[in-house]
């Protein structure tokens, strides 16, 4: 019998990593984590889309290349320069409402960008493993309320969700067509993340922060919609585990895996607003956002049994601590603290909590 997977921080020491999407919310946190682990990271992404942005606050000491993942020649140049052993592909157009405004750009980035990357990686001489990050929204969600598992049918009714499902199919095709003999290639699917440093438009916590700082209720489009909320560091820990497992025990590692929160952390949008507002301070409450809105699933939940079984992965923070950590981060930023050091402390607290969790 094969030995069980055992995560190790030492695995990342000196490891050459190409991280796409490093200027985004999740990408900036993962870049910080990889650097804390001693990895040699090259980031490739567009310029940050918001001001303020997390990358500007914590992304120092970085090999950062600004460019578009759809640019084939540039991508090949980046891979030559980075000479990666591990690739974590997070570059994406990640907003549902933006996908309605710009479906061409959404499909271009999320589908063609994935094709361009994987095609270029065929010539990467030292490549050991690739993780393609997609979304919990890749599943064909008919609103039945069942928690999705990895074998469920892919789909997606809006352009964002559908483009991510297409990225899953691209990943599957390249694995079977070009990477059958390795290096291993897998996809990771995570739920709605919260955490400090997100200022994206049309995202719940940034909307809360902006509203509360102005002393007005938060406007909600679908207050009763239920999502698998989790702190941003939760799925990032899964991506790291998956990448290590692909290198050290590829025969046991999953090729597609969910990283979702404790089922007890599933909450409605309005409940998350109430919890965050109470911890951040300011005028609590919400009001309906008037006008017509693009359709969104009313209920979306995941099961992470496969991640637990194959990687020994499980969530670390419950919803209350996730909201508290998120509110603490935004308060620290509001109060002018050094956010790189604050973020490093939060990351270390998460790593300590993870080591001590059952």
- Is 4 a member of any domain? no
- Is 6 a member of any domain? no
Give the bridge partners for 64, in sequence order.
43
DSSP of 228-273: --EETHHHHHHHHHHHHHHHH-TTTS-SEEEE---GGG-EEHHHHH
Q: How far apart are CA 168 and CA 185, in angstroms?
A: 11
- Is 63 a member of any domain? yes
325-358 pLDDT tens trace: 999 999 999 999 999 999 999 999 999 999 987 6
239-262 pLDDT tens trace: 999 999 999 999 999 999 999 988
> What's the number of domains the chain is made of?
1
- Is 7 a member of any domain? no
Give helix 113-121 / helix 72-82 axis angle, nearest 10°.
40
State the pLDDT at residue 263.
83
State the pLDDT at residue 284.
61
- Is 110 a member of any domain? yes
Could you tell me which of 42, 36, 40, 47 has the C-alpha nearest to residue 19?
42
- Is 2 a member of any domain? no
Q: How far apart are CA 18 and CA 279, in angstroms?
A: 36
Domain span including residue 268: 12-356
Q: How far apart are CA 165 and CA 226, in angstroms?
A: 21
Inter-residue contact 256 to 187 (CB < 8 Å): yes
Along the 358 residues of the chain, how does pLDDT read in single tens digits? Answer: 355 688 999 999 999 999 999 999 999 999 999 999 999 999 999 999 899 999 999 987 779 999 999 999 999 999 999 999 999 999 999 999 899 999 999 999 999 999 999 999 999 999 999 999 999 999 998 877 788 999 999 998 999 999 999 999 999 999 999 999 999 999 999 978 999 999 998 899 999 999 998 888 888 988 888 888 899 999 999 999 999 999 999 999 999 999 998 888 888 999 999 999 999 987 668 888 887 766 666 677 889 999 999 999 999 999 999 999 999 999 999 999 999 999 999 999 999 999 987 6
Give the bridge partners for 267, in sequence order.
227
SS3 for 299? strand
DSSP of 43-94: EEEPPPSSSS-HHHHH--S-EEEE--TT-HHHHHHHHHHH--SEEEE-----
- Is 85 a member of any domain? yes
Which residue stretches of the chain are H helix? 25-36, 54-58, 72-82, 96-101, 103-107, 113-121, 159-177, 204-213, 233-248, 269-280, 305-311, 319-334, 339-356
SS3 for 335? coil
Other CB atoms within 10 Å distance of the CB of residue 63: 15
Residue 217 sits in a domain whose CATH number is 3.40.50.720
- Is 53 a member of any domain? yes
Helical (H) or strand (E) element with 288 = strand 286-288
Entry pTM: 0.95
CA 328 to chain centroid: 20
Give the bridge partners for 299, in sequence order.
226
């Amino acid at each position: 019998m094969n030995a069980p997977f055992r995560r190790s921080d030492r695995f990342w020491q000196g490891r050459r990593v190409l991280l796409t999407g490093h200027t985004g919310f999740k990408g900036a946190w993962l870049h910080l984590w990889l650097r804390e682990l001693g990895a040699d990271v090259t980031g490739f992404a567009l310029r940050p889309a918001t001001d303020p942005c997390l990358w500007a606050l914590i992304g120092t000491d970085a090999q950062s290349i600004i460019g578009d993942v759809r640019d084939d020649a540039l991508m090949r140049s980046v891979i030559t320069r980075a000479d990666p052993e591990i690739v974590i592909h997070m570059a994406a157009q990640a907003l549902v409402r933006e996908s309605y405004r710009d479906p061409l750009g959404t499909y271009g980035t999320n589908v063609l960008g994935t094709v361009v990357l994987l095609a270029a990686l065929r010539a990467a001489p030292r490549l050991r493993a690739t993780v393609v990050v997609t979304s919990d929204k890749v599943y064909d969600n008919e609103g039945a309320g069942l928690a999705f598992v990895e074998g469920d049918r892919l789909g997606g009714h809006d352009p964002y969700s559908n483009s991510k499902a297409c990225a899953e199919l691209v990943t599957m095709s390249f694995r079977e067509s070009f990477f059958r003999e390795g290096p291993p290639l897998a996809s990771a699917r995570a739920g709605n993340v919260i955490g400090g440093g997100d200022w994206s438009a049309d995202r719940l916590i940034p909307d809360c922060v902006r509203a509360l700082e102005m002393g007005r209720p938060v406007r909600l489009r679908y207050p009763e919609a239920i999502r698998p909320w989790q702190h941003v560091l939760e799925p990032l820990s899964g991506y790291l585990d998956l990448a290590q497992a692909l290198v050290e025990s590829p025969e046991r590692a999953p090729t597609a895996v969910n990283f979702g929160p404790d089922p007890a952390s599933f909450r409605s949008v309005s409940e998350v607003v109430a919890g965050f507002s109470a911890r951040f301070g300011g005028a609590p409450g919400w009001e309906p956002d008037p006008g017509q809105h693009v359709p969104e699933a009313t209920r979306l939940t995941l099961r992470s049994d496969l991640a637990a079984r194959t990687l020994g992965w499980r969530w670390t923070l419950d919803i209350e601590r996730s909201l508290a950590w998120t509110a603490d981060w935004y308060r620290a930023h509001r109060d002018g603290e050094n956010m790189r050091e604050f973020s490093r402390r939060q990351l270390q607290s998460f790593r300590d909590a993870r080591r001590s969790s059952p």
